[in-house]
Amino acid sequence: MTRRLRRFALALALGLTGIGCSALPGIPSGSEKSFDARGSRSTALESWKDEVIYFVLLDRFANGNRHNDFNVQPKNPTGYHGGDLDGLISKLPYLDGLGVTTLWISPLVDNDDDQLAKTGLWGFHGYWAKDFEKVDEHLGDQAKVKELLDKAHARGMKVMLDIVANHGGYEYKHRDNPRYEAWFNAHGNISNWEDQWWLENGSLYGLPDFNQANPEVRKHMIEVWANWAKLGFDGFRVDTVKHVPKDFWADFNTQISQRTKSDFLLLGEVLHGNSGYVADYQRSGKFHSLFDFPLYYTLNDVFAKGASMRKLGDRFAQDAAYPDAELLSPFLDNHDVPRFLSQAGGDVSKLKLALACVLTVRGVPSLYYGTEVGMTGHQEPENRADMAWGQNPELTRHVQQLLKIRKDSVALRHGKQLEMWQDDEIYAYGRLTGKDEAMVVLNNSDRRQVREIPLRAESRLQDGTRLMDQLTGDVTVVTQRKIRATVPAKGALILKP
Ligand SMILES: [Ca+2]
Ligand SMILES: [Ca+2]
Ligand SMILES: [Ca+2]
């Protein structure tokens, strides 16, 4: 994806964030729907709630092999920088130690090579495929992919592949071949970003746009990506979902699911701020999971920009729009949006608070490489810079601590999320399973805050129960079915009996 395009897409999505943000009447805070009627695949997918995803942009993470540094230009922000599969493999102990459990890796397929001369840009990000059936020569080969999968799996980590079915790169191998003319849409660039037909059938910045109505294209996409899945991946992160018709996704997701293990996850990117719009891709598009872009905008408004914490309550009230909000993937930033710390004016305390939220709310959280060392970057490609190894050890320890707290609490991973308190400064929620409970109190103000917060009716905690803050070890006691929460400025309490 190009810089100009992404800016446009981002501006569009930002423009839509105000739509539908008010709470829905009659719907309780948090999703309290029961999904007992779901089949065995849904049961298998429940295990994803134990995962924390970490996104690695391979070219920018770690260079483990100098022999594949073809035309590498480390000082050119849009050039190849040399990162590869060997580099990622060498960092598995670091990632395991950090506490992340699933690696989402940027696309592996062979990408455009000589766009530098034409556009000043390289396909270092992996989203400009030349050939969907080969591994890019900068990253490694199929044996190296298998080695990554084996070594990650040996540590109990999963690996998710980033795939594209919307477009090829400028040098896509069949682009100018008359035999394949019917494979592509020929409507020119998207001319109306508020029209769904154009989003699906127009080109993104001149990239060849596949015509998924053509049965040959459909079959090819399913075959190609099913073959990649067979190597041993645990799921797909699917790119540019809103630019492809939903009926294709329903077919694709059904067929990929039929050919993969029961917990193979299909996680889609629908870059849009409206919960209802995004939710329909889980319903009609049959994605198991989607990135929680609507929550992303809210987290940025609230924690980076200082908006009222009530916006969090409004956002979670919209969980009812989704068939299963508990499988969404909440996140603070990624390679297509500004890094959170830049949005927050470099204030690490804001990032730490936002991390305490995103790693304790419902769903399968995603972290972007470098967040844990305090990387910044407003725009593409500055938000995709080389991993700044060891830049902020104190922040890294905070992330590690939060991940350990999450790992040690069934409630924080699987519990229903029930709102306990909201005002402009404070937002609090419980996470409850039948047997386990946790409570999170977040203070977005610049001063210490004290609140007496009533337990939810669903809570089984008795008066006199001692609750320990997992971050500091401080103890508070349940009294008259209330907790007295004293929260430091820009601080969080994560309470467990
Ligand atoms: Ca290399
Ligand atoms: Ca290439
Ligand atoms: Ca398209």
Mean pLDDT (whole number) for 167-181: 96
Q: Answer yes or no: is pLDDT of 37 > 60.
A: no
* Residues spanned by the domain of 456: 419-496
Residue 163: per-residue pLDDT: 98
Is the pLDDT confidence value at 2 over 90?
no
Higher-pLDDT residue of 17 and 375 is: 375
Q: How far is the CA of 103 from the centre of ligand 1 (A)?
A: 19
Residue 220, pLDDT > 70, answer yes
Ligand nearest the Cα of residue 66 is 1
| 83 CA → ligand 1 middle, Å | 5
How close is the Cα of 388 to the center of ligand 1, in Å?
A: 17
What is the whole-number distance in angstroms between the Cα of residue 351 and the centre of ligand 3? Answer: 35
pLDDT for the residue numbered 473: 97
Contact 100, 366 (CB under 8 A): no
Average pLDDT over residues 342-355: 98
Beta-strand runs (E) in 166-290: 235-238, 265-268, 289-290
Mean pLDDT, residues 428-442? 97
Query: Is there a single domain that holds both residue 445 and residue 380?
Result: no
**Phi first, then psi: what are they for 331, rounded to 5°?**
-160, 160
The ligand minimizing its distance to the Cα of 108 is 2
Distance 40 CA to ligand 1 centre (A): 42
- Identify whether residues 246 and 349 lie together within a single domain: yes
Among the candidates 350, 376, 407, a domain finishes at 407
What's the pLDDT at 364? 98
| Predicted local confidence at residue 12, as pLDDT | 35
Per-residue pLDDT tens digits for 236-257: 999 999 999 999 999 999 999 9
Q: What is the pLDDT of residue 326?
A: 98
| Domain stops at, among 356, 384, 407 | 407
Least confident of 22-36, 379-393, 406-420: 22-36
Which whole number is the average pLDDT over 316-333? 98
Let me know if residue 412 belongs to a domain: no
Q: Please check whether residue 160 lies inside any domain of the structure.
A: yes
Residues 439, 390: one domain?
no
Taking residues 206-219, report their average pLDDT.
Answer: 97
Going by pLDDT thresholds of 50, 70 and 90, the confidence category of residue 258 is very high
Write the DSSP assignment of 29-74 as a string of letters.
Answer: SS-----TT--HHHHHHGGGGG--EEEE-GGGT----GGG-TT--T
**Is residue 386 located within the same domain as residue 295?**
yes
Q: How far is the CA of 151 from the centre of ligand 1 (A)?
A: 19
142 domain residue, yes or no: yes
pLDDT at 116: 62
- Residue 328 shares a structural domain with residue 451: no
Backbone angles phi, psi at 266, to 5 degrees: -110, 105
84 pLDDT band (50/70/90 cuts)? very high
Q: Does residue 135 sit in the same domain as residue 251? A: yes
- 162 CA distance to ligand 2 centroid (A)? 16
Residue 188 has pLDDT above 50, yes or no: yes
Domain CATH number, residue 184: 3.20.20.80
Residues with CB in 5 Å of ion ligand 2: 110-111, 113, 136
Query: In terms of domains, do 146 and 203 share one?
Result: yes
The answer, yes or no, to whether residue 8 has pLDDT greater than 50, is no
Give the model's confidence band at 32: pLDDT under 50 very low, under 70 low, under 90 confident, else very high. very low
Q: Give first-to-last CA distance, the chain, whole Å.
A: 47
User: Is 162 strand, coil or helix?
Assistant: strand
CA of 70 to the centre of ligand 2 (A): 9
Asked if the model's pLDDT at residue 388 lies above 70, the reply is: yes
Q: Any idea which ligand is nearest the CA of 248? A: 3
CA distances in angstroms from 31 to 299, 316, 319, 439, listed in the order given: 18, 8, 6, 16
Q: How far is the CA of 236 from the centre of ligand 2 (A)?
A: 21
The mean-pLDDT minimum among 11-15, 204-208, 362-366, 459-463 falls in: 11-15
Rounded distance from Cα 65 to ligand 1 centre (Å): 4
pLDDT-derived band at 426, boundaries 50, 70, 90: very high
**Residues 384, 60 contacting (CB under 8 angstroms):** yes
Are the CB atoms for 104 and 53 separated by under 8 Å? yes
Structural domain contains residue 473: yes
pLDDT in tens, 272-304: 999 999 999 999 999 999 999 999 999 999 999
Task: Look at residue 414 and tell me if it is in a domain.
Answer: no
Expressed in angstroms and rounded, the spacing between residue 260 Cα and the centre of ligand 2 is 28
CA–centroid distance, residue 192 to ligand 3 (Å): 13
Average pLDDT value over all residues in the chain:
92
Q: Please report whether residue 399 resides in a domain.
A: yes
Whether residues 161 and 189 fall in one domain: yes
**Which ligand is closest in space to the CA of residue 80?**
1
- In terms of domains, do 225 and 367 share one? yes
Q: What is the number of domains present in the chain? A: 2
Last residue of a domain, one of 407, 432, 465: 407
Give the pLDDT score at 113: 78
User: Based on the domain organization, do 290 and 426 belong to the same domain?
Assistant: no
Q: The pTM is what?
A: 0.92
Beta partners for residue 426, in sequence order: 443
Residue 324 within any structural domain of the chain: yes
Say if residue 29 is in the same domain as residue 168: yes
pLDDT band at 400 (very low <50, low <70, confident <90, very high): very high
Least confident residue range of 3-7, 114-118, 327-331, 334-338: 3-7
Distance 133 CA to ligand 1 centre (A): 20
Query: Residue 126 C-alpha to ligand 2 middle, in angstroms?
Result: 9
Say which CATH number the domain at 468 has: 2.60.40.1180
User: What sign does the CA torsion over 136, 137, 139, 141 have?
Assistant: positive
At 108-135, the pLDDT tens digits run: 999 987 666 666 677 899 999 999 999 9
Contact of 404 with 329, CB cutoff 8 Å = no
Residues 403 and 425 in one domain: no
Question: How many angstroms is it from 145 CA to the middle of ligand 1?
Answer: 14
Per-residue pLDDT at 314? 98
Mean pLDDT lowest among 120-129, 137-146, 212-221: 120-129
Residue 413 lies in a domain: no
